[in-house]
Structure 1
Amino acid sequence: MDHRILQTTRELIDEVGYPALTVDRVAARAGVGKAAIYRRYASKAEMAFVATVHEQRLPLPAGTGSLHGDLLALIRAFHVRMATPAARQLAPALIGELAGNPELGTRFQDTFLAAERAAFAEIIEQAVARGELAGAVDPATAHLLLLGSLASALYILNLPVDDAMVADLATAAAAGVTALADRHRGVPGGAAEPR
């Protein structure tokens, strides 16, 4: 049933666009009740986000042997999902819903963003274990440096993001994470040193 709901959502977004998408339309075409959809997703925006960006499992940290390589593999995988026409339609609507619905915002933080940050935590842990980083860095900061920049480029600045830009974002994020690890080295709890 989950697959049917999400596949139908993708089809309808392609056919009629996100603004014309409704839970009623998805339920009717998928042959499920609206209650079944609302048990899974708190809103139309969440359902569409899962269908277009976050349905598949998150890419596992690539284990390329370098921080830069792992961040590059991760951002390339996310770029494929985040740059689709459906995702570009959906992101502004989802951002608006998150701003006006604290419950949905909490759910989004506790599910999707927590899973993304866990991937960053693993990449950072591997880089520390290899001796590539001087110490741990907050995964939320690494997430912001890499995927926050990608989201801003795609959804706010409407830039034509190509693989060269994706590679540049990975390079900048790797340099930022390395600089933060160096700055926090030797400070209990990883807090920033006073300026």
Structure 2
Amino acid sequence: MSTVKQAGGRPRESRVDHALAEAVRALLSEHGYASLTVDAVAARAGVSKAAIYRRYATKEEMTFAVLVHDLREEPPADTGSLRGDLTALAARIGDQIGRSAADVMTGLLADVRADAALGARFAATYLAVERSVIATLLDRAVTRGELPERPDSPVVHALLLGPLFTWPIVLGEDPDRIPKLAPVVARIVADALIAGALPPAAQDGLSGGS
């Protein structure tokens, strides 16, 4: 999968990326999401605000990229089977969710949902990357002959993400149990796919972003 080019074509500096990530995590731990600002991150990281805005358009995008994933998300390694690929992907999603505090994710997603333009940006960037990863995984299964056609990527996305997201963030359960939940979710999704229980791509208007 191709990566997303940085604004202005300038390459990222790993030192700056590391400093920003450390600053975001430290400030969230000390003051919480509501108090997080680009100014505070720039000051803590020892970089200019321009360096941040070359990477992220908003505080929300910066926070999501640091805590969950950026726009360079790659498909999991090809394990040779649909079940193996789904297990690897569910483990990755679980790890990403598990290392993000529930209150931070709740505040971040509330901001995204409250601003239509910001929500559209997230859908066109981070969600599109996630669905591209899933589409690649499903296309592998079609090529191997495990599936007759690609199922609807957003539906598979929802089935993988939903339980893992709900466990710590909606239900407030122990995130340390996610590693045991992730393979169960992957197995359920794999069984549904192999049984042909999910709609194919673009059926019934369910498809989008794949």
Which of 15, 28, 32 is residue 13 of structure 1 equivalent to? 28
Whose helix proportion is higher, 1 or 2?
1
- 2: CA distance between counterparts of 1:190 and 1:26? 42
1:141 aligns with 2:155: yes
Task: State the 1:88 CA deviation.
Answer: 2.2
Distance, in Å, in 2 between the alignment partners of 1:7 and 1:26 is: 9
One-letter amino acid of the structure 2 residue matched with residue 47 of structure 1: M
- Using the aligned pairs only, state the percent identity: 40
Structure 2 gap ranges (5+): 1-15, 205-210
Match of 1:165 among 162, 176, 181: 181
Q: Distance in 1 between matches of 2:94 and 2:50?
A: 32
Any stretches of 5+ residues in structure 1 without a counterpart?
none
Matches within 5 A, 1:46-195: 46-55=61-70, 57-84=72-99, 86-160=100-174, 161-180=177-196, 184=200, 191=203
Aligned to 2:37: 22
- Which deviates further from its counterpart, 129-138 or 39-48? 39-48
Contact preservation (8 Å) 1:67, 1:174: yes
The answer to whether the 8 A contact 2:78-2:85 is kept is yes
- Supply the distance in 2 between the matched residues of 1:103 and 1:22 (Cα, whole angstroms): 19
Q: What residue identity is the alignment partner of 2:60? A: A
| Aligned-residue RMSD, C-alpha | 2.4
TM-score, normalised to structure 1, is 0.83
Is contact 1:79–1:150 with CA below 8 Å preserved after alignment? Answer: yes
In the superposition, the TM-score normalised over structure 2's length comes to 0.78
